[in-house]
Amino acid sequence: MFRPSNTPPHLTTLILLTAVSVLSLNMFLPSLAHIARDFESSYLLASISISGYLAVTAVLQIILGPVADRYGRRPVLLGCLVLFVLASICAALAQSIWIFLAARLVQAGIIAGSALASAIISDTADRSHAASLMGYVGMAMAVAPMLAPMLGGALDQFFGWRSGFWLYAGLGGALLWLTWVDLGETNPAPADTFTAQLRAYPELFRSRRFWGYSICAAFGVGAFYLFVSSTPLVAVEVFHLSPTIVGLGIGSITGGFFVGSFLSGQYSERMGPLRMIFAGRIVAFVGVLIALLVLLLWDSHPVVYFAGGIAAGLGNGLTVPNARAGALAIRPHLAGSASGLSGALIVAGGAVLTPLPGLLLTPENGAWLALVLMLSAALGGLAAALYVWAVDRQEARVALSPRA
């Protein structure tokens, strides 16, 4: 029961690691106003627990990937889980906003769960099978954001906001035990020293495929951030919907992502990652374009707007697991670094795109301009996929050409 594992983990373990890393971001969001009131601080200061957390996760993904390539996936995950449990307890017991915020930033170490789950899959499966497995893991990334705020709101209502952080501690402790007994080391050839590892990095940075796959995924997830940040304004100011319907509407894009991720799990190994990526980009682009044209030319109805979001989510579910698998397969001995760097690019893309709706949208242009922004992101992802295809064709021609 407590014997350390020396075999690769079950897929369920990786799904749970990913789910808890997503839960840690948004489960406590319904409690944010109560947290600010209890600590007698401003809402803006309390919201650093979100923005600061995202910033730290972006930096940590860049750091944790190389550390996991050097020392292995298992010790890095175990260490981050221990920190997550301790930070969750500190946040639950905090008596000042500053201690709470410090604990919250340390909690960001749980991002190792999702970042290294991808690297572990890449360690143990070929690219097509890895894309299939990442599709199933992606389903957890769709379900967790939908359920987490509801769970957090219920805990706050019946037990107070601190109960959510006690739950974090319990989940982290359970994952720590599960990782100990089920997740053996999967890094086949850890670098001897950081110096040796750094000498290998230019292989990754020079890879045009890596940047193409990563940018494709970043644009796809960017459309998600655009939809989530646009919908509160569009739903309330343009369509005059109730808060309950607004919440359901925001969740519609993750519903599409869930279905797309399931399809990736079912068909990626059979069709191949690049075909699935193209399918996802075409679904997203055509779906959002149709929604935009219907909205402008026929009927400005909220169902049309939300249908565009669902199409973007469905396309992401087909694209992102396959693009991530492609990026990590470029240099297998640097899978951890590739996972961290591509993950950081996705977070950075979201950070750049999220403020745009607030800067550009008004009640007069909100619905159609939000779809235009999403369409632009879908087009950027399609262009990146075409770039990867062109690189493949070019390198195939070089490989077949007679040597001089």
For 351-395, what is each residue's pLDDT tens digit? Answer: 788 778 878 888 888 789 999 999 999 999 999 999 999 998 887
The pLDDT, as a whole number, for residue 404 is: 45
The pLDDT, as a whole number, for residue 393 is: 85
Residue 354 phi, psi (nearest 5) = -55, -40
pLDDT over 80 (residue 140): no
pLDDT over 80 (residue 262): yes
pLDDT over 80 (residue 167): yes
Of 137, 158, 190, which one is at a domain's C-terminal end? 190
Query: What CATH code is carried by the domain that includes residue 338?
Result: 1.20.1250.20
DSSP-derived letter for residue 160 is: -
Same domain, 233 and 375: yes
Same domain, 126 and 66: yes
Per cent of the chain over pLDDT 70 is: 93
pLDDT over 80 (residue 110): yes
Give the pLDDT mean for 90-100.
Answer: 94
Same domain, 67 and 35: yes
Residue 120 lies in a domain: yes
d(CA 402, CA 322): 33
Same domain, 184 and 305: no
Residue 34 lies in a domain: yes
Of 163, 190, 217, which one is at a domain's C-terminal end? 190
Per cent of the chain over pLDDT 90 is: 33
d(CA 281, CA 385): 8
d(CA 318, CA 286): 14
Residue 280 lies in a domain: yes
Give the pLDDT mean for 210-218.
Answer: 92
Same domain, 72 and 170: yes
Give the pLDDT mean for 309-336.
Answer: 86
Give the Cα-Cα-Cα angle 11, 17, 23 (nearest 5 degrees): 130
Of 190, 211, 231, which one is at a domain's C-terminal end? 190
Q: Average pLDDT over the chain, rounded to whole? A: 85
Name the domain count of the chain: 2
d(CA 105, CA 51): 10
Residue 4 lies in a domain: no
Cβ atoms 358, 231 nearer than 8 A: no
Domain housing 116: 11-190
